[in-house]
């Protein structure tokens, strides 16, 4: 087998450490000011992420027990969990002073009722399996469908805005996305009222 090689277009310069750049992937480039409503939405998203992370860790604990091992928290859980908690605390900084404690804020806005695993995790400092299954477990599927609809609508809006006119447009949403909308809206409205 023959391979053709060519000379490089240019030779790279010597790396100079003074030009080192630190990337802050998880932090915005410009400071962002959030309203109390936006803080609530962000906190709900972060609670959802932490709840799913706790559920995954509990599943891993069950597997470890099934193999006859003592359950240990994974490094991934500890890293991602602490990142989410840091993001939650940063979110609280956008609220008017005096800034509430994280547990108090979750109680105040009702997120502790929606995400009891998160509340127990904040109190205990480690993931704990719930005796009763939280209500949100049944509706994560519906919330995921709502998120798909949101992303789809944002994509369509961006396409319309940037392309001016579309020659073909999705006239109706896929049936699988619309089937559970009524139940999802009813569930979400319970917590908003």
* Per-residue pLDDT of the chain in tens (193 residues, 90 and over written 9): 566 677 777 776 677 777 777 776 666 655 578 888 888 889 998 998 998 898 888 888 888 888 888 878 888 888 898 899 999 998 888 888 888 899 989 999 988 888 888 888 888 877 776 667 777 777 777 877 888 888 888 888 887 776 654 444 444 555 555 556 666 666 666 665 5
CA 48, 54, 59, 62 dihedral sign is negative
- Nearest residue to 81 via CA among 31, 104, 47: 47
Q: Residues 33, 94: contact at Cβ < 8 Å?
A: yes
Distance of alpha carbon 142 from alpha carbon 139, whole angstroms: 5
pLDDT of residue 56: 86
Cα angle at 33 between 29 and 34, to 5 degrees?
120
Q: Which residue is listed with tokens 């790279």?
A: 12
- No. of helices (H) and no. of strands (E), the chain: 8, 0
* Tokens encoding 94: 């956008």
The pair of three-digit structure tokens given for residue 80, joined into one six-digit string: 């991602």
Cβ-contact 184, 176 below 8 angstroms:
no
Give residue 176's pLDDT.
Answer: 59
Per-residue model confidence (pLDDT) at position 62: 83
Which residue in this structure is represented by tokens 């940063």? 90
Task: Determine the Cα–Cα distance for residues 52 and 134; give it in Å rounded to an integer.
Answer: 12
Alpha carbon distance 27, 37 (integer Å): 20
Question: DSSP readout, 109-163?
Answer: HTHHHH-HHHHHHHHHSS----SSPPHHHHHHHHHHHHHHHHHHHHHHHHHHHHH
What is the pLDDT at residue 113?
86
**pLDDT value of residue 117:** 87
**Sequence-ordered list of residues with C-beta below 8 angstroms from that of 87, at least 6 positions apart, any chain:** 26, 46
Q: What is the pTM of this model?
A: 0.58
Q: What is the pLDDT of residues 95-135, one digit of tens each?
A: 888 888 999 899 999 888 888 888 888 888 777 766 677 77
Query: Which of 139, 124, 133 is CA-nearest to residue 48?
Result: 139
């Amino acid at each position: 087998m023959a391979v053709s090689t060519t000379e490089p277009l240019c030779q790279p310069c010597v790396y100079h450490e003074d030009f080192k750049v630190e990337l802050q992937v998880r932090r915005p480039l410009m400071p962002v000011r959030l309203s109390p409503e936006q803080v609530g939405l962000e906190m709900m998203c972060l609670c959802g992420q932490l709840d799913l992370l706790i559920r995954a860790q509990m599943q891993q604990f069950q597997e470890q027990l099934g193999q006859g091992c003592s359950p240990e928290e994974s490094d991934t859980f500890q890293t991602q969990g602490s990142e989410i908690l840091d993001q939650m605390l940063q979110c609280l900084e956008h609220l008017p002073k005096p800034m509430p404690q994280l547990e108090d804020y979750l109680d105040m806005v009702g997120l502790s009722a929606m995400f009891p695993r998160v509340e127990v995790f904040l109190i205990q400092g480690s993931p704990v399996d719930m005796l009763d299954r939280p209500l949100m477990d049944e509706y994560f599927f519906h919330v995921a469908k709502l998120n798909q609809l949101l992303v789809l609508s944002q994509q369509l809006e961006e396409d319309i805005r940037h392309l001016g006119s579309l020659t073909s447009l999705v006239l109706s949403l896929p049936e699988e996305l619309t089937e559970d909308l009524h139940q999802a809206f009813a569930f979400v409205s319970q917590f908003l009222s």
